[in-house]
Amino acid sequence: MREILFDRFGGPDVLTLHTDSPRPEPAEGEVLVEVSYAGLNPLDFKIRDGSSGMAEGLPLPAGTGREMTGTVLGAGADLDLAELASRGLAPGTRVFGMRRPEDRRGVAAEVIAIAADDLSPVPDEVSSQDLPRWAGLALAGLTAIATVQDAAELGEGRSVLIHGGSGGVGQLLIPMALEAGASRVWATGRAANAERIRELGAEPIPYDEVDWREALREATGGEGVDVVLDTHYFSTFEPSLDLLRPGGDSLIVVLPSLADLTPARERGITARIPRIVTGRDRLDRLVHGMRSGAYPLEASRVLPLSQIAEAHRLLEDGHTRGKLVVDVRS
């Protein structure tokens, strides 16, 4: 079968298309899935270049990708097909999901074995043209839940600044912050993405046209915000500390896992990095949000599997709008 593998850590070109990989065997609790699309995430290039903690001790050659959509082909011997069907995961069902953090196998392959608990069915009404959005939903969505609900404990009446509002996670952070009762939500992004940020329900701050610190200060009458959700970190983290409303309960959540939170802690400011919690209940919440239109995540670009190195280059530019997805069948 076709599969993307890399045999050393390095640039995008270490990703190689193999056409003779053996089909995997499902282990205990796993199903076999024929993958249609794989969603890409910055974590993919951080694992590929060896900079992520998840690259440590990773056996090579390794696969790439963490989230996908596809069709269930069958199940491991221990799984009862009737029980699987009662969970909506019978063979023939379209599913989406992501590998749990401790499962470091890739998903950019024709067929994968994956824990049944890490999947949820794609609703019947979803058209095949709409599947790329579902391929990019699980990792960004579970991250957004971990950020808004677990790390920020966002509640009614809080004001929020989101950095990177039109990125993969950002496009879900905005609606989830509003859903949690945020009083006002501002989001930074390039001017080219301002309209998209507005559509999602936030007030855009085009950082390439205005000084975003000044704009936020002005918008809040000098008070600042209660919560910052920072998907970018590099040039945004430290200046954001000056934009948190003084007082005991303001906080900043920073997404990149290797972020150094010391500057916040030295100032007595609560700073956290979210940790993804996988599982069916959270995936089903994402299904509900996609169905209702509350989470209008977009897949801005779909590339064929053979162009995955190019997709990684685009991802590394750091200006992805919504999700980048590869079509595993082409």
Q: Are 104 and 261 in contact (CB under 8 A)?
A: no
Site string for ligand NAP, 166-205 (x = CB under 6 A): xxxxx-----------------xxx--x------------
CB 278 within 8 A of CB 118: yes
SS3 per-residue string spanning 112-128: EEEEHHHEEECCCCCCH
Helix (H, G, I), strand (E, B) or coil at 185: strand
Helix (H/G/I), strand (E/B), else coil: 195: helix
- Provide CB contacts within 8 A for 189, sequence distance 6+: 164, 165, 166, 167, 170, 196, 197, 204, 205, 206, 207
The residue among 130, 132, 185 whose CA lies nearest residue 158 is: 185
Q: Does 64 bind ligand NAP (CB under 6 A)?
A: no
Give the interface segment with ligand NAP, choosing from 123-131, 232-240, 241-249, 293-301 (CB under 6 A).
Answer: 232-240
Region of 87-95, 240-248, 249-257, 299-307 interacting with ligand NAP (CB under 6 A):
249-257
Query: What is the 3-class SS of 38-90, one letter each residue?
Result: EECCHHHHHHHCCCCHHHCCCCCCEECCCEEEEEEEEECCCCCHHHHHHCCCC
* 65 binds ligand NAP per the rule CB under 6 A: no
Minimum separation from the CB atom of position 81 to ligand NAP (A): 33
For ligand NAP, give the closer residue by CB, 72 or 161. Answer: 161
The residue nearest ligand NAP at its CB is 167
CB of 112 to ligand NAP, least distance (A): 20
Q: Which of residues 94, 163, 272, 312 is near ligand NAP by CB under 6 A?
A: 163
Question: Which residue, 202 or 315, has its beta carbon nearer to ligand NAP?
Answer: 315
- Applying CB under 6 A, the site for ligand NAP has a residue count of 31
Q: Which positions touch ligand NAP (CB under 6 A)?
A: 41-43, 140, 143, 163-164, 166-170, 188-190, 193, 207, 231-232, 235-236, 255-257, 273-274, 276, 315, 318-320
